[in-house]
Structures are given as structure tokens and as C-alpha cells.
Structure 1
């Protein structure tokens, strides 16, 4: 197993190194005439960017001083997103490059053809000259020098009008500039989308067992806030204000609230004390809580007024609300226990389950849950990451049915790693329960 892991790691490392070398070649070497400052700057940018990324990840995981995590996280994580889209841009450029060069070559040849003058029409010989015929040329007339009409005198320089700079250099600069502009624009817009705060999404979910009195009950679902060295107190306040603005009956925080210790992120989480809902706010752990000190965070959110559901259930007036720990807790003996949370409940009542990962849906089906609320996937966060996340999760985002159980997966409010989303807008979802008896 160790040998297989080492081989896979070596393969991945080789692909990353070759990919970055190719990116440097296309963006810096092929766009310059000779070695110089630009190529050296390219090496510094690419190597330095990855050094910051690795440094930010290591600092976060090892509990380095929080100020150091913040210094490394912003440039390092943004480079991670930028490098990905630069590589995609360079890859797309490989498809465009031969087409652009061929088009320029045809255009150059057409320009050369237009520059060649049409030949003078030759005089038509006449068999016999009559009285009306023009007089023959005299000996004093100067004959036309055909050499002066030679096309050679009107030709364009070899290589056509794009010979300086060469077509190859011109094409490389156009493609590199387009790839860089597209990558910067994509990452910039995706980062702005995260920092401005999540939008509200509203979804109606009918439940067969829900009594008429609970028709229209609103649950505000927020997941994957990922407070850390990038997203801090100001972002938490935006999330709280957005949730309170929906005037929910109940608030469900379904995991991955933080990326760091209570010591470092306690002030960032403090605005959660301002959450307001008629039946309160509830919390279940996500996998990142177990990287950040889950027990300490459970106590902290309880102190802030949220109620943790650790493999537990509470009976609300019209339905049961249950919560299970994330599967990552198994390594600490704190994994999900569906029997404890759901085993002895009255199945005639509707049940809503909070479970961080969508993969927990199969256990939910076995225990007769009516609706599971999850997060974890981020909707893929960075396209085309949605393709990978879709393979690893039964539902990537939105509402789907599994037998008699429905699963809703939120894209999440924040972001992990780069504070950037592309093709997966962040959200806070208001689930409105509907009774079929209404």
C-alpha cells in the first residue's frame, strides 16, 4: 500500500511539475525573443506562487501563528485558483494555436497576391494595314522595357506583412495574453462573488407526514462557511444578517463552520450569537471540525447559543429534528450513530435530519428519514471541479429523492482554500416545508 501511494504521489508530482513548466514556456518563454528579465520573472511568479500555496496549507494544518497563516493564505490560495485557470487557458490555447497560425498564413498570402500588378494586355497582331490602320511605329519610338513590369519589383518581404515580429511570436503573445486575461478575470469575479456574501435560495419541499399546521415552516440552511485565515468576522456578520433577513422558523448549520482553532477563530465566530429564529439554531459537525478541534468547537457554538446535535434528536411541535456527526469523526471515536439519533423515534412523525455529507443519505433512507439537509460539496466550487465532486457524491447540489427520502444539498456560504467560486455560486437556502394535507 505504501509503495502504491508513493507511486501515485510521484505521478501526481510529475504531472504538476511538467504542467507548470509548460505553462511557463507558453506564457513567458514563447512570448519573448531571448532569455532575459521577463523569463526570470516568470520563474519567480510560478515557483513563488506554489511556495506560498504550500506554505499556507502547511501553516493552517500545523497551527502556525495565526498572523502567519493570514499572510500566507491570501496570496497562496488565490494563486492556487489562478494557476488552475492559467493551465486551462494554456491548454485551450493549444487547440487554437494551429488554427490562428493557419489563418494568418492565408491572410499573408492573400496580401502578397494583391500586391502583384495585373500584366499589360498584349497588342493583337494585324494581317494587313489599310488606309484606316494606324501608322507603324517609327524607328525613333522607344520600345517598352518588359523588365520594368516584372512582378519581382512589387513583391512583399519574405514571410508576408507579419514577418516582424514573426507569426510564431505574434500568435504566442496573443494566446498567452488572452489566457492570462481570462484567468485573472475569472478568479477576480469568482472572488468578488464570495466576499460579497451568499445569496438566498428558496426551495419548497413537500413532506407526506407533515401536518397541515406546519405548512410553510421555514428552515434556513447554511453550510461550509469555512471561517479561517481568509474569511473572518466580517464574513460571519454577512452570513448572520442574511439568515436573519429571511425570518426563519429554524436555523440549521450543517458543518464545516471553521478551519482553525477556537483560540484563533473565536472572535470570527462571535457574530453567530446574533442568529435569530423562532425555534432556535442547530449545529452538526463537518469533516473540517475534526481538523480544528471538534470538541472545543461544539462547546463554543453552544456558548454562542446554537444547539449541537451530536447523534441526537429533538421533538419539535410538528416534526422530529435529528443530527448525526460527520463520518470524519470515526477516527476519534465520534462518528455518526444513526441508531442513537433515530432508532427509537415514532416513524409516524415527519423527520428532518442534519448530516454534513450527502453520502450519509443511504443510512437516512434505512432509518425512515423524510428529508436530509447536507452540504460538503460546495457545488464543486471551482469549475470543472464539479465533475470530480459529482463522482464522489450522490447529489452535487439541489434537491433529489432517494426512495421515500429527499436529500437537499447546499452549495455552502463560504469557500475552502481559494476564496473563489466559479460555476457554483454560494448560497443560504430557505427550505419551506409543505404539507400535502394543506
Structure 2
């Protein structure tokens, strides 16, 4: 049953991919060119870009993230361009149709309606001689020059240029955001049970670093430097460290060893970590002095006061017999102490609230990464980004420091968040 479902999903996805590319080819190539070499070249470019996008998704998984950048860069950049060019064409579709209708009227074009044909006197009209279709040639203006086709071509080319320009501008801006250093965001979270002696305790929260074919050692270094500049008390890495195995990308994660926080650095698994070999990554992180909280907790103490720091595995771990266990992580604890929970997906707050968790720190959503993807994320998660309250639990969702797929962020800049805990 699972295999059949996978085949069905693959066929539907392929059909959708082909359909979208046909639409783009029609609007950007066929409608803007005359038959000939230019049209054939344009069709070839669209096909090549579509193949590169599929290759970007498949090749790094088969051959590893390193050495496959040649297909990942064009494929993933085209994925973002395709999204925005389709959105732009969709927005312009109705104005284009209205403009075409206006051109037909101004050019005096005649709709292909049925016109009567004179019948000789005394002759019987037959079905074949009653009507005839008019010549669909474009009507001429006062000077006798055809007006329709040239104006239509100018219009379709203008629409195509506007859509392509909008897409290029948006993706260019988004790449500049995604490939730059993450910004630092500061958030104060009130905690009812927090001892005043812990007021101002700072946790640097970072998630979704996504080491892979497009992000490597330099990216990790930027993240570490951003965190260290804030001098946090504790570092929380809330999942999705890599899109590749520890053997392939361990060297790119090495700068994490330089994380500086008086209470240490901690990690919880994300869905992509399970796809990349979570067990090996946990061992790799231990070598880098980053402790994984796998359905576990510990006491964080300062100045005679303390709170519990807990972490649960990602929900994807269920398929690897390593799912979240809230009872193990949060059971039998001192109810007088507040608890801060690290959990990759915001949706896990539903279980956290039942265990009287004060604060949950999560990632996973990337803040939507590319507008308007945020609208889809809202269908699956209780929050996309920022601070929210779910029952009595405060939920903070970071937009993350990396990206998945396209090296583009629109409306969701990369970030490292400094969470400050304060008594309520």
C-alpha cells in the first residue's frame, strides 16, 4: 500500500511539474515568439531548467551533497524563479485577457460569427449555401494596415517581461537575504515560576542550519560568530542541522566546537536529521561539545536558583523507532521549577502543554522561507514564526539560519534569536 501511494504521489507530482512548465513555456516562449529558431531554443531552455530542478532534488541524495553543486545551484534557483514567475503570470492573467479584448475592439477585428450568403432568386437554399465562415484575417485600420497581431505580440511580450522581471528581482533580493549573515532577534518571555535570581537568563536559539550542497563551513562559521557576539548563557540548536550524513558534512559542522556559552550548547533532532542519519550526527555533535537532548532533561542552575531544560525527538523519529517521548523527558520532575523544552516542530506544543511546559523553543517552519509559502505552513503548524501562547505554554518559533532547497528567503530573513527569561 505504501509503495502504491508513493507511485501515485510521484506521478501526480510529475504531472504537475510538467503542466507548470508547459504553462510557463506557453506564456514566456510560444506567445512571445514566431515559429523558428528562437522558439525552439526557448523550449529547450525551459526543458533544461525543468530537468535541472529534478536533478537538484535527486542527484545530491544519490551522490552526496559535495560535488553536486553544479546541478544544485541552477536547479534550486530555478525552483524559486518558477514559483514567482508563475505567481506573476497568474496575477497578470486577467489584465492580459481584458487588454486583448480591448485590442480586438480598437483594431476593428470581427469575431468569427456566421454571416449570411445571398441566394439566387428562384433557387432553393441548401444547408451548404445558407452560411459561410468569414475569413479570420485581422481587420485593417483606416490606412489598411493590420492592427491586431502586432499589438497582441507587444502585449504578450510586455506581460512576459513584467513577470520575468518581477521574478528575477524577487529572487535576487531573496538570495541576498538567504546567503547573508543571520540577523539577531531579541525576545523577552515571561515565565510564571521563574525565580527572580534567573531573570535575564539568555538562550541563543538557532534552528534549520541545513548544511548541504549549497551551505557549508562558511555558513556554520557565520552562525557561530553571530551567536558568540551575544555572549549567551546557553545555546539551543532546535533541529535540521544538515541535509547529508555526518561522514559527508561533519567537517562543515566543525565550527560548532567554537560555540561559547557558560551552560553549554544543546541539540534536538529535526526531520531532516533523521533523513541524514541522526545517530551518526548525535555522535558527531558530541565530539563538538554539543549535547543532544533525546527525550531527556537536565537542571540548569545559577545563583542558587534553577530551571529544567528538556528536549524531545522530532515526530519524524517515529518511523525510525526513535520518536518523541514526553513522559520520559518531562515526567517525575519538580513541579515548582519551570521547564524550557526544545522541540523541533511547533506542532509538538500540543503535547508540551499537557505536561505543564512553560516555554517551548522550536524551528522547522523557516518562517515560510518564501512568501506566500507561509500560508501553507499555517495549515500544518500552530505558528509560523515569533512568540505565541498555546494554553499556558509560551511557544517561540525561530525562522532559522539556513534554508532548504532554493537559496532564497522572501519575507523570512535568517535569524538567531536571543530569548531572555523573566519572572512573570
- Scaled by the length of structure 2, what TM-score is found? 0.87
Give runs of aligned pairs for residues 392-431 of structure 1, distance below 5 A: 392-431=380-419
Separation (CA, whole Å) in 2 of partners of 1:11 and 1:258: 28
Separation (CA, whole Å) in 1 of partners of 2:342 and 2:145: 68
Displacement of 1:99 after TM fit?
3.6
CA contact (8 A) 2:236 2:267 kept: yes
Give runs of aligned pairs for residues 130-279 of structure 1, distance below 5 A: 156-158=142-144, 163=147, 166-279=150-263
Deviates more, 1:255-264 or 1:47-56: 47-56
Q: Deviations over 1:279-312 (max 9, x none)?
A: 1111111011111111111011111111111111
Tell me what 2:120 maps to.
Answer: none
Q: Deviations over 1:383-434 (max 9, x none)?
A: 2211111101011111111111111111111100111111222211111111
Separation (CA, whole Å) in 1 of partners of 2:177 and 2:334: 43
Q: Deviations over 1:101-156 (max 9, x none)?
A: 456678889xxxxxxxxxxxxxxxxxxxxxxxxxxxxxxxxxxxxxxxxxxxxx85
CA contact (8 A) 2:88 2:167 kept: yes
Q: Does 1:285 align with 2:286?
A: no
Q: Deviations over 1:36-61 (max 9, x none)?
A: 22222222222111212212221222
Deviates more, 1:65-74 or 1:348-357: 65-74
Separation (CA, whole Å) in 1 of partners of 2:161 and 2:177: 24
Tell me what 2:55 maps to.
Answer: 55
Tell me what 1:143 maps to.
Answer: none
Give runs of aligned pairs for residues 301-316 of structure 1, distance below 5 A: 301-316=285-300
Structure 2 regions of 5+ residues with no counterpart? 109-140
CA contact (8 A) 1:59 1:68 kept: no
Separation (CA, whole Å) in 2 of partners of 1:299 and 1:50: 38
Separation (CA, whole Å) in 2 of partners of 1:394 and 1:76: 31
Backbone CA RMSD of aligned residues: 2.0
Separation (CA, whole Å) in 1 of partners of 2:162 and 2:372: 19
Q: Deviations over 1:180-202 (max 9, x none)?
A: 11111111110110111211111
Displacement of 1:9 after TM fit?
4.4
Q: Deviations over 1:330-366 (max 9, x none)?
A: 1221111111111011111010000001111111011
Which of 353, 359, 366 aligns to 2:347? It is 359
Q: Deviations over 1:228-263 (max 9, x none)?
A: 010111111111111111111111000001110112
Separation (CA, whole Å) in 2 of partners of 1:89 and 1:267: 41
CA contact (8 A) 2:297 2:330 kept: yes
3-state SS of the aligned residue for 1:391?
Answer: coil
3-state SS of the aligned residue for 2:404?
Answer: coil
Tell me what 1:83 maps to.
Answer: 82
CA contact (8 A) 1:244 1:275 kept: yes
3-state SS of the aligned residue for 1:237?
Answer: helix
Displacement of 1:327 after TM fit?
1.1
Tell me what 1:100 maps to.
Answer: 99
In structure 2, relative to structure 1, the CA distance for the partners of 1:230 and 1:5 (3 Å cut) is: closer
Separation (CA, whole Å) in 2 of partners of 1:94 and 1:194: 30
Displacement of 1:93 after TM fit?
2.2
Tell me what 2:16 maps to.
Answer: 15
CA contact (8 A) 2:76 2:406 kept: yes
In structure 2, relative to structure 1, the CA distance for the partners of 1:7 and 1:308 (3 Å cut) is: closer
Displacement of 1:22 after TM fit?
1.6
Tell me what 2:374 maps to.
Answer: 386
3-state SS of the aligned residue for 1:30?
Answer: helix
Separation (CA, whole Å) in 2 of partners of 1:376 and 1:66: 21
Separation (CA, whole Å) in 1 of partners of 2:311 and 2:70: 36
Tell me what 1:31 maps to.
Answer: 32
Tell me what 2:336 maps to.
Answer: 348
Which of 326, 350, 356 aligns to 2:314? It is 326
Separation (CA, whole Å) in 1 of partners of 2:166 and 2:375: 21
Separation (CA, whole Å) in 2 of partners of 1:165 and 1:247: 66
Separation (CA, whole Å) in 2 of partners of 1:158 and 1:425: 57
Aligned residues: 387
3-state SS of the aligned residue for 1:364?
Answer: helix
Separation (CA, whole Å) in 2 of partners of 1:66 and 1:321: 33
Separation (CA, whole Å) in 2 of partners of 1:355 and 1:187: 31
